[in-house]
Amino acid sequence: MIKFPTHNKKLTDWVEKMARLCEPDDIVWIDGSDAQRQSLEKEAMATGEILQLNQEKLPGCFLHRTAVDDVARTEHLTFICTKRKRDAGSTNNWMHPRTAYRKTKEIFKSAMRGRTMYVIPFSMGPVGSPFSKIGVELTDSRYVVLNMLIMTRSGEAVLRQLEKEDNFTKCLHSKAQLDINKRLILHFPEDNTIWSVGSGYGGNVLLGKKCLSLRIASFIARKERWLAEHMLIMGIEEPNGHIKYIAAAFPSACGKTNLAMLLPPDGLKIKGYRIWTVGDDIAWMRIDSDGSLWAINPETGFFGVAVGTNSQTNPNMMDTIKKNTIYTNVLLKPDGTIWWEGGDGEAPQEGIDWQGRPWRPGMTDSHGRPVLGAHSNSRFTTPILNCPTVSFRLEQHHGVPISAIIFGGRRGQVAPLVYESFSWQHGVFIGATMASERTAAQVGQLGEVRRDPMAMLPFCGYNMAEYFRHWLEMGKRMVKPPRIFHVNWFRTDELGRFLWPGFRENLRVLEWILDRCNNKADALRTPIGYLPFPCDIDMTGLQLPKGILERLLQIHKEDWFEELKGIKKFFRQFKKDLPIELWQEYEALSQRLKSDE
Ligand code: GTP
Ligand code: SPV
Ligand code: MN
């Protein structure tokens, strides 16, 4: 009989039951101490799970390589397991809980033989806050433990909290054989349970993140009347010292991390803006007693995209990841430091690529395609407290008040640089009809445009039509709902080059958004929403070729009539479940486009 460090019987019973299924050699409880983390790092180095990087240049940093076919979230292997199919809705993969448990038990059976089972008690949100949620993840991966220690508040303090409250999400993970044919990411919202097996990649296995904080949390949030969203949260301190907070939903690998920690561009420095980073991926938002929307970031770290991150695009992140960071699937340089495409400096003359093979710049594969040193979804896991612009409000239970919500996608055409909705309901329509080109963050066809409502398509834990209804209702309950905007940093020219320089220059667009919130800027009423007059976007210090800003703000009617067709097709799948308000918004947009001709 092993002695467990808790009196919570529900917890001990469950751990024992899962141990009987997975048959680990040993059970180790994660206490959150430095000493335990360091001994885990040593063990993981000994087994080759992580490689220690150059400790002079990158203190506390490690490199991990995943299996070659385990480099991104696998949406086709991700399921919502509710008793009724309808509760998972038309956009989710569904399996009956009974079938799901039975099938997956077979894969979990004895999967941890010869391994240790780690028990990670973790809290999403400050420990003990009434808005936080507790989870316990069982895993046979030291890499998962080391990542969870960065991404969540975990260890003894959470166990103590579990002496007081009974409720926690039961999260079971095993690498098993890392076999893609025996890989499943299952959510049982009705049992507050997550089962993930056969993967070792971030979003599939750090169960506090997408699985708990989005899929399970969104299910809970609808019942408890709050929102769990795939959003960054940032504060913009205005020259007068007021800080306005915004939340923004962009699909995976579409710029949340970069926006959340941007530094003002040189041309705008004189205005004295200052950015405060609250979160880069997940926002939990509630209506507080003042009738406005308040947001917390339930995480404590960033699991950010490496490729494209450099001292020009995101100097703040380059500072953040200099220490205590775990790099996944990047290139290893001979001096024990790392590099990725779109990173700082020239490509090194030689290195070891993300698959562990010798690499030189200019190498091509058998099809003549360039061999990448780093995987295009290579990432780093780094503590938010490393970030120079980290918000001082991180530990505050109520979080920060949200003035504006921004939706955005990656679209070469159609969507202008920025526009504002006419109302909350119209804003929900804009969010619900968002579309974006697919990125490397999930396995699938790159570049294909798909509808990704509120950037939640892969993360909504229940029927998406009900989710839309919930959004509409939240708006009605607020005294002063945030204004809703849409942005697109990714519009391209005929040659596919970005028209907008993006990154820190995006502050110019945020400035217009804040001005709108403060009733300080005018706007042009168009069929799709309010657009800025080009002269209202401060371009000091940024020289765009003549006519480009106007082009970024142009709306092409033909594109929008096509867009209407896409929206109609998308909405039809929800049948009678789709809130009538969204069809009304569709009709209204259609009418405005027609009568504008
Ligand atoms: P997830 O972590 O997958 O949810 O993604 P994210 O939304 O946080 O994306 P992130 O900020 O990491 O950006 C992903 C990619 O988009 C990186 O390669 C960035 O360099 C690039 N990117 C970010 N912002 C901009 C921008 O304003 N313009 C352009 N052209 N690229 C950008
Ligand atoms: C995303 O894909 O949206 C991510 C990375 O933020 S992961 O945690 O892998 O889902
Ligand atoms: Mn994400």
Which tens digits make up the pLDDT trace of 67-89?
999 999 999 999 999 999 999 99
380 Cβ inside 6 Å of ligand 1: no
| Per-residue DSSP letter, 193 | E
269 or 123: whose pLDDT is higher? 123
Q: CA 385 to CA 364: how far, in whole Å?
A: 40
Q: What pLDDT score was predicted for residue 446?
A: 85
333-356 average pLDDT score: 97
Per-residue pLDDT tens digits for 357-381? 999 999 999 999 999 999 999 999 9
Residue from 547, 566, 592, 594 nearest 411 by CA: 566
Q: CA 445 to CA 82: how far, in whole Å?
A: 28
Among 12-16, 230-234, 236-240, 515-519, the minimum mean pLDDT is found in 236-240
**Residue 565 pLDDT more than 90?**
yes
Q: How far is the CA of 215 from the centre of ligand 2 (A)?
A: 13
Under 8 Å between Cβ of 207 and 168 = no
Beta bridge partners of 406: 248, 485
Per-residue pLDDT tens digits for 155-172? 999 999 999 998 999 999
**Residue 140 pLDDT more than 80?**
yes
Under 8 Å between Cβ of 295 and 285 = yes
Q: Whose CA is nearest to atom 29 of ligand 1?
A: 502
Q: Whose CA is nearest to atom 12 of ligand 1?
A: 305
Residue from 292, 309, 312 nearest 256 by CA: 309
Name the average pLDDT for the chain: 97
Q: What pLDDT score was predicted for residue 597?
A: 65
Q: Whose CA is nearest to atom 5 of ligand 2?
A: 203
Q: What pLDDT score was predicted for residue 2?
A: 61
Q: CA 19 to CA 1: how far, in whole Å?
A: 12
Residue from 132, 130, 126, 133 nearest 153 by CA: 126
Q: What is the 3-state secondary structure (H, E, C) of 421-456?
A: CCCHHHHHHHHHCCEEECCCCECCCCCCEEECHHHC
Residue from 84, 44, 81, 35 nearest 62 by CA: 44
Q: CA 181 to CA 184: how far, in whole Å?
A: 9
* b/e sequence 261-291, b meaning 16+ C-beta within 10 Å: bbbbbebbeeeebebbbbbbbbbbbbbeeee
Beta strands in 214-266 (DSSP E): 227-229, 232-237, 243-249
Beta carbons within 10 angstroms of residue 583's beta carbon: 13
272-289 average pLDDT score: 97
Per-residue pLDDT tens digits for 533-552? 999 999 999 999 999 999 99
Report the percent of the chain where pLDDT is more than 70: 99
Residue from 468, 462, 455 nearest 189 by CA: 462
pLDDT band at 588 (very low <50, low <70, confident <90, very high): very high
Q: CA 186 to CA 193: how far, in whole Å?
A: 8
441 Cβ inside 6 Å of ligand 1: yes
Q: What pLDDT score was predicted for residue 443?
A: 85
Beta carbons within 10 angstroms of residue 311's beta carbon: 13
Q: CA 225 to CA 471: how far, in whole Å?
A: 10
Q: CA 232 to CA 280: how far, in whole Å?
A: 4
209 Cβ inside 6 Å of ligand 2: yes
Report the percent of the chain where pLDDT is more than 90: 96
Q: How many residues does the chain have?
A: 597
- Indicate which atom in ligand 1 lies nearest the CA of residue 305: 12
**Residue 1 pLDDT more than 80?**
no
Under 8 Å between Cβ of 187 and 194 = yes
Beta bridge partners of 51: 63
597 or 49: whose pLDDT is higher? 49
**Inter-axis angle of helices 9-22 and 97-108, to 10 degrees?**
60
Ligand nearest to the CA of 504: 1
Under 8 Å between Cβ of 211 and 298 = no
Q: What pLDDT score was predicted for residue 241?
A: 92
Active-site option among 254, 387, 460, 517 = 254
Beta strands in 38-83 (DSSP E): 51-52, 62-64, 78-80
- Indicate which atom in ligand 1 lies nearest the CA of residue 313: 20
- Indicate which atom in ligand 1 lies nearest the CA of residue 503: 27
Q: Whose CA is nearest to atom 10 of ligand 2?
A: 203
Pocket probe mutation, ligand 1, options 206, 254, 317, max atoms within 8 Å of Cβ: 254
> Is 171 a residue of the active site?
no
| Per-residue DSSP letter, 528 | S
Among 131-140, 209-218, 260-269, 347-356, the minimum mean pLDDT is found in 260-269
Under 8 Å between Cβ of 282 and 297 = yes
207 Cβ inside 6 Å of ligand 2: no
